[in-house]
Chains A and B, each alone.
Chain A
Amino acid sequence: MANILIVDDSSTMRKIISRSLRQAGLTVDEIYEAGDGIEGLGVLASGKPVTLILSDINMPNMDGLEFIKQVRANGNPVPIVMITTEGGEEILKEAIASGASDSIKKPFTPEQLQEKLGGLI
């Protein structure tokens, strides 16, 4: 079971990710949503019992890379997986170096979510 925070500036993508998690057969308790890194930090600061974060990289206000750094700077060890159109090696290396566990490239299939997230949920 997992309580998942989805951070993406596209409401459509947040809905697709939520639906794909169910289609992948992953058992999810609660899904929280945020439209950028700042909102994501707000959800975490509110005390929601988040056990996994799925975050986009390219977002307004606070992008995904800065968001990861802030989460880790706050001492939060929650696993973070990037779900992003950004597939460049250097960006993904920076994400991993900043504290991300893994990455999933958009567009994705429910099977790819299962493969990447099955071990974390």
Chain B
Amino acid sequence: MSLNAEIAESARFTEEQLAKYVIDATKNVFSTMIMMDPSDEYPLKDPIHRFQCSITGMVGFAGIYSGVISIHCPVALALQITSSMLGMECDEVNEDLNDAIGEIANMLGGSVKQVLSKGGMDVKLSIPTVISGEDYTVNSLSDIDCVVIPFSVNDNKFLVGLTLKKED
């Protein structure tokens, strides 16, 4: 999966630059708020749309850019993340788990927004959306390419994806 060259040009970013922003933002959020140090395994070799026993947190951008930043991780890892964030054991999919993953997506969105909008007023962030399930797929309805970064932490893998389009 790669960023459409036209989008990268119009956004004034290369795919590698955007990948670096996503990687840096993810590592910063994880090391600061979750006390985990994931390693990136960029680039992702094959597209992944189907997730099993997983949870996905998403935040949308609207304004001079539109798009979505998303984090997809197995429930087992999400439980570890939530336990670390809350400082207490979390062993089931519940409101705490959804809220924690949504907040991670929110912080990732804020980091990327800073790259897209220096002032902050011309790009708006949505409230986080979280989905989870035994078996589900995530697809972008429009033909927007994206960067997807695979990460590894504590013997688990997770993905952070960014779709982006410069609006006219």
* Segment at the interface with B among A38-46, A47-55, A70-78, A80-88: A80-88
Interface membership of chain A positions 83-99, coded 1 if the CB is closer than 8 angstroms to chain B and 0 otherwise? 01111111110100000
Overall SS of chain B's interface: helix
A89 to B119, Cβ gap below 8 A?
Answer: yes
Q: In the complex, A109→B31 CA distance in Å?
A: 10
A85 to B125, CA, bound (A): 10
Q: Quick check: A92 and B120 within 8 Å, CB to CB?
A: yes
Number of interface residues of B (CB under 8 A): 28
Q: Are B99 and A108 in contact (CB under 8 A)?
A: no
Q: Which of B108-116, B139-147, B156-164 contacts A (4 or more CB under 8 A)?
A: B108-116
Tell me whether A107 and B33 are in contact (CB under 8 A). Answer: yes
The answer to whether A10 and B106 have CB atoms under 8 Å apart is yes
Count of interface residues, chain A, beta-carbon cutoff 8 Å: 26
Q: How far is the CA of A84 from the CA of B106 in the complex (A)?
A: 10
- Inter-subunit contact B120/A87 (CB<8 Å): yes
Given contacts A86-B125, A87-B114, A88-B121, contact A12 B99 (CB under 8 A): yes
With a cutoff of 8 Å between Cβ atoms, the chain B residues found around residue A90 in the complex are 119-121
B103 at the interface (CB under 8 A from A): yes
Contact A16 B85 (CB under 8 A): yes
- Residues of chain A lying within 8 A (CB to CB) of residue B82: 12
Enumerate chain A residues within 8 angstroms of B127, measured Cβ to Cβ.
9, 58-60
Closest to B33 in A: A107
Q: What per-residue 1/0 map shows which CB atoms of B70-113 lie under 8 Å from chain A?
A: 00000000000010011100000001100110110011011101
Q: Pick the most buried of A59, A60, A88, A89: most chain B CB atoms within 10 A of its CB.
A: A88
Report if B14 contacts A (CB, 8 A): no
- List of A residues within 8 angstroms of B120 by Cβ: 86-92
Cβ of B118 under 8 Å from chain A: yes
